[in-house]
A and B are shown apart, each in its own frame.
Chain A
Amino acid sequence: MIPYFSREDVGLILYYLGKIIKGIGIIMLIPLFIGVINHEWSPSINFLFTSLLSISIGCLLIIIFQEDRDLNWRQGMSVVALCWIIVMFLGAIPLYLSGHYINYLDASFESMSAIATTGLTVVNDLDHMSYAYNFWRHLMCFIGGQGIILVALTLFVRGGSVFKVYVGEAREEKIMPNIIQTARFIWLVSLTYLVIGTTILFGINLWRNMSPGRALFHAICLFMAGWDTAGFAVQSQNVLYYHSPAIELFTAMFFLLGAVNFGVHYTVWTGKPRELLRNYELKIYIVSILITFFLVCTGFIIHFQFPDFISFFREGFYQLISAHTGVGYSNMTFHNFAYWPPLAILGLIIAMGLGGSSTSTSGGIKILRIGILLKGIKKELKVLTSPGATVVVERFHHIRDIEIEDTHIKMAAIIIILYITLYITGGLIGVFYGYPFLPSLFESVSASANVGLSMGITSPFMPAGLKITYIIQMWIGRLEFISVFVLFRFLLSLKSPE
C-alpha cells in the first residue's frame, strides 16, 4: 500500500523536478549551437527562448522549494513519472514553433515519441525540416533512451536520492556498486558505440557521395535513434531513403546491441567475454528472434511474392529485428504492409510486444521476464512431478547465477499481464475510432512497447483522442507502470489529504 503524500512531499518533488527542468534547458543549447553553425536563425531563436524558459522555471522551482533532504522511493517514482510529462511539454515547444506540426498536441506526440524512444511520427514535410529541429528530435531520442533521469544523475542531481529515481525509470539493475558509477558506465558504453557507429555510417554515406557535412549529420542522427531504439530518421522515408544494404546491416547491428542489457556490456568489457554465451537472457533473445522470424516467414510461404531470397530476407528480417529490438526503423513504406499476410503481421506484433533486454534502451515486456516465467513454469512442473519432500531449485545465469524465487515469478507475471492489458486496451480504442482490429492492435503494441513501426494509422490526421491514447501508452510503456501508479496515488492524495 502506497501511503498518502504530504505537503512536504510536494515541495521536495517540485525541487527535484526543478533540477531536471533546468538540466533540459541546458541541453537545449546543443540544437541552438547546431542552428547557429548552419545559419538557421529562426530555429536558433526558438531554441534560445525555450532554453531560457526551461532554465528559468527550473531555477524558480529550486529557489522556492529549496530542500536539503533526500527523496524516499515513492517521491522518487513521482519525480520520474512527472518529469517525463514535463520534458514532453518543454521538448514540444521548439517543435511546435517549427511549423512542421499542425498543433501543439502533434508536437507533444512527437516529443513523447522521441523521449520514450518510440519513433511514431506525426511530422509534416520532414524532408524540409531544418538541421536544428531535426537534430533536436534525434537528441531527445538519445536522452530518452539513456533515460532522462540517467542524464540528470550524471550531470545535475547529487545525493542519496539517486537510486530511487534510477529505479523509477524501469532500470532495476545496479550494474556497479555505486549508482552514479552505473550511470557513467552506461554513458561510456553509449558514447563509445556513438563514436564507432557514427564513424562507420559516416564512411558509408561518404562512399555513397553525400557531402561530408550532410553525411556526418545523417550518421549521428541515424546512430542516436538506432542505438537508443527510437527509430526516428532524418528523411520521411526512414531507412528506405538510403536504399543501402550496408546501412541496413550496420544499423541493425547497432540497434541489436542497443537492446542488450548494459550489465552484459559491463561484464563483457571487463574481461568476461563468455557472458555472451552463458547469459540466459541473450539465449532466450536469440531463440525468440528466430521463432518470431519463423512466424513471419511461414506467413509469407502461402502468399509468396518476392522476386528472390535476398529481397525476401532484407524486407522480412529487417522489419522483424527492428520490431523485436523496439527500434522501428523500416526499409519499406507502410503501404507495403498491405501485402504482408496476417500471420507475418502477427509475428511482428509478438516480436514488438516481447521487446528487448531489461536495463537496455528498448521497451516492451522485456525478454528476461519471459525467461523467468518459463523457468517458473518448469519449476512448478518439477514440483508437481516430484515426490512430496523434494526441494526443487531452478537457476539461471544472468551476469551471476540467480535462483528463481516466487517473488521473481510474481513480479514478471504482473508486468506481463499489465503490458498485455495495455496492448489490448489501445487496440480496442483504435477499433472504437473505426480502424480494423489487426492494424489497431499493431499500432497499439508499437506505441506501448516503444517500437515505432506503423501500418499507417499514425499520421497528423488521426483523431486527437487516439493521439492522446498513444501518448499515454508510450509514457506508461516506457516507465513500466510502477512509477505511473505511484504518481496517480500522489495526484489522488492531493485531492483527498488525510
Chain B
Amino acid sequence: MMERLKKYIRIIDRWIIGIVLELIYPLITFSAAAILCFLLYLTVFIRK
C-alpha cells in the first residue's frame, strides 16, 4: 500500500515539476521577444 502511494506521489511530483517548467518556457520566449522589441524601439527613439 505504502509502495503504491509512494509511486503515485513520485508520478505527481514529476507532473508538477513538468508543468511548472512548461509554464516558464513561454515566459522565456516572451522575454526574448520583449528584449528584441525594446532594442528596435530604442533604435527608432535614438534616430528620432
Residues of A participating in the B interface, judged by any CB pair closer than 8 Å: 192, 196, 249, 252-253, 256-257, 260, 265, 268-271, 273, 276, 282, 286, 289-290, 293-294, 297-298, 301, 304, 309, 312-313, 316-317, 320-321
Contacts and interface: CB of A to CB of B under 8 A. Distances in A.
Given A253-B27, A312-B41, A271 B14 contact: yes
B8 interface: no
Contacts of B14: 269-271
Contacts of A289: 29, 33
B1 interface: no
A256 B40 contact: no
B17 interface: yes
Nearest to B41: A309
A257 B26 contact: yes
B41 A290 contact: no
A312 B37 contact: yes
Nearest to A268: B18
B23 interface: yes
Given A286-B29, A317-B30, 11 more contacts: A252-B26, A253-B23, A256-B25, A256-B29, A257-B26, A271-B14, A273-B18, A289-B29, A312-B41, A313-B38, A316-B37
Contact of B38 (A196, A265, A282, A309): A309
B2 interface: no
A269 B18 contact: yes
Which 10 residue pairs are nearest across A and B when measured between Cβ atoms?
A: A269-B18, A256-B26, A268-B18, A253-B26, A297-B40, A271-B14, A309-B41, A313-B37, A273-B21, A304-B44
Contact of A298 (B26, B38, B40): B40
B19 interface: yes
B22 A293 contact: no
Contacts, number: 79
B7 to A, nearest CB: 13
A256 B26 CA distance: 7
A294 B36 CA distance: 7
B9 interface: no
Interface of B: 14-15, 17-19, 21-23, 25-27, 29-30, 32-34, 36-38, 40-41, 43-44, 48
7 contacts: A196-B19, A257-B25, A269-B18, A276-B22, A297-B41, A312-B41, A321-B30
A268 B37 contact: no
A257 B36 contact: no
Nearest to B11: A270
A271 B17 CA distance: 8
Nearest to B32: A290
Contacts of B29: 256, 286, 289
A255 to B, nearest CB: 9
Contacts of B37: 293, 297, 309, 312-313, 316-317
Q: Which residue, A249, A256, A265, has most C-beta atoms of chain B within 10 A?
A: A256
B27 to A, nearest CB: 7
Nearest to B20: A273
Nearest to A302: B44
Contacts of B48: 304
A192 B33 contact: no
A297 B21 contact: no
B34 to A, nearest CB: 6
Contacts of A253: 23, 26-27, 30
Given A289-B33, A317-B33, A269 B40 contact: no
A256 B34 CA distance: 16
A206 B48 CA distance: 42
Contacts of B36: 290, 293-294, 297
A196 B18 CA distance: 14
B35 to A, nearest CB: 10
